[in-house]
Chains A and B, each alone.
Chain A
């Protein structure tokens, strides 16, 4: 991961205006608060021959995630834990969810569990799940009953 800031002042453009506004820190300006009741948030997508699951896992690496698939479901689990020095007493504000989590998803069609692959990067887990080939209808030609000697 490329580091920004820390020494060089790249991402901060700052203007020294009247630094008189002293209000309580922090004050929210705008924007909808995300629901923290569910962690992690995920999106399920579908194409003709596959499903894709995109899971938001900020702060987690691939080794922190356990993924299990069956023919029609997947279970992802893991833990996001606070560093020991980040005790609650030293925090002024705690909104980010921490703890052990697990989510199970039932898919609306069967998948080939052997063909499932997953990638993780920048706090996003992407899972690709190919659908099982549907059993296609096959036309069967009806033949005449063969009349064998002695049968009639």
Chain B
């Protein structure tokens, strides 16, 4: 009998017992991931309001919640006349296209310095340059398309661009 008890006891010790709960690091990892999911959309909403980042992007779970927001970017000379983008080099046009795409996603976090520099390099006849960013959105107060403009003015310095 004593031998039986002893044998069972050894067997119990040999079989690894399944722990009752997951390791602490795993519980912490799951909690951290869920905390991120709980808080990020609120930060995202703040970034949309302050910097006008694209509400459908960056994982804020705001797709189909509001208008996609359209963007129009105009390049004007000092006189206010538009600069014909066809007069720019391929590099200049590419810089403007890159800014359009970046601005659409990153909003005010994207500034047109590089695009302006490229335009001024291509157009030595211009001393001043204005880039106007027009943002369109669906106004919840009126149900109509609303817009506002932000202008970036660049003045050529004696050394060259900007």
A and B together in one complex: no
User: Which residues of A come within 8 Å of B, CB atoms?
Assistant: none
User: Which residues of B come within 8 Å of A, CB atoms?
Assistant: none
